[in-house]
Amino acid sequence: MAVDRESLPESGDLSQGFFYRIKRDIQSATECMELRFDNIPVEDGSLLVDSLSQDPDIERHRPRFSYNSYTQVLHILIMPTEVHDTHQDWIEDERIDMMATGFLSYAEGKILKTRVGTTLSAFQGRYAGSRKEPDLMLRYDSDPLPSFVIESGWSESLPRLRSDMRLWLVGGQPEVQIVIILNWKDFRHHNPTYQRNIRGLGERLRKCPSPKAKWENPDIQTIPITRAQLSGPAHLLPGTKASDIWHLRVDNLRAWATEAVRLKFDTYGLARRPEASSEQPSAHNLPKTKPVT
């Protein structure tokens, strides 16, 4: 998917006309696309996101906004697709399984909240003034930042996804514990997970191995996360251990993605929970999006 990229004048003087121009671009979209604007000063970037995210005229296009104060880039995802959002079903399934098996108690399940597209602003350090609307997050009750984040995008979006990962883990420390990136091109090799190293230092992030294809080794078809990473180390309930591990099943994610691709071309019926499968979406059969002109 092509990304429309534009740099603003060095003066950084953003008029009201620029706000309405972005609004028109969003309203004119008929399918999934991304907009990117460079050289946006902090005071303007945060104001743009705050204003656009509250505008009811663009709500039906389901835009998700991201402003990175360190890179001074404003990014807008418009009309995300079924495939782009398939992780929402995946994580909901995992939450149900966590509670059904007793990994999460009823109290933990109730207080660990799932959110999509919520505008967050409590970033620190060089990322102060940033705004981010995650593709999915888990956070303890109403904490200002989540502990667990998923960001999703097409192959052309990988540099942006990595920038998002640094915004979360560096600007969101110590609350943000783990970020999963879903990069929709070759599913088998583009779902890295990032977490803090053992010292918890800012930029020193460890890239967890991507799961192998199911037929290569079924035993590693999971992404391990600890209880502390899931709910945040400051929110462990009495009687629980920070080191307890839950294995997120990648085959379930793959099954939901396969179902999303099928639904793209199927006009009948509603989505159902699919059975886990080794089928995988690939670059040639994923839905395409048009460039922004």
Give yes or no for residue 29 having a pLDDT over 80: yes
Structure confidence at residue 265 (pLDDT): 57
Q: 101 and 218: one domain?
A: yes
Contact 233, 205 (CB under 8 A): no
DSSP conformational letter for 58: G
DSSP conformational letter for 157: G
In a domain, 122, yes or no: yes
Structure confidence at residue 192 (pLDDT): 57
Structure confidence at residue 203 (pLDDT): 37
Question: Most confidently modeled of 48-57, 74-83, 130-139, 202-211?
Answer: 130-139
Q: 159 and 235: one domain?
A: yes
In a domain, 74, yes or no: yes
In a domain, 274, yes or no: no
Q: 94 and 190: one domain?
A: yes
Q: 72 and 121: one domain?
A: no
Structure confidence at residue 79 (pLDDT): 85
Tally the domains of the chain.
Answer: 2
Contact 89, 273 (CB under 8 A): yes
Question: pLDDT, tens digit, for every residue of 240-274?
Answer: 899 999 999 988 888 888 887 777 655 434 444 44
In a domain, 4, yes or no: no
Structural domain containing residue 61? 17-79
HSE-up of residue 275 (Cα within 13 Å, Cβ side): 1
pLDDT band at residue 73 under the 50/70/90 scheme: very high
Q: 141 and 35: one domain?
A: no
Mean pLDDT of the chain: 78
In a domain, 289, yes or no: no
Comparing 35 with 13, the larger pLDDT belongs to: 35
Contact 14, 8 (CB under 8 A): yes
- SS3 of residue 56 by DSSP: helix
Question: pLDDT, tens digit, for every residue of 165-220?
Answer: 999 999 999 999 999 998 887 444 445 566 655 444 433 344 444 444 443 555 55
Q: 96 and 216: one domain?
A: yes
Question: pLDDT, tens digit, for every residue of 108-151?
Answer: 988 999 999 999 999 999 999 999 999 999 999 989 999 999 99
Q: 22 and 146: one domain?
A: no
Give yes or no for residue 293 having a pLDDT over 90: no
In a domain, 290, yes or no: no
Closest CA to 2 of 35, 29, 25, 27: 35
Q: What is the CATH number of the domain that holds 103?
A: 3.90.1570
Q: 52 and 100: one domain?
A: no
Structure confidence at residue 11 (pLDDT): 44
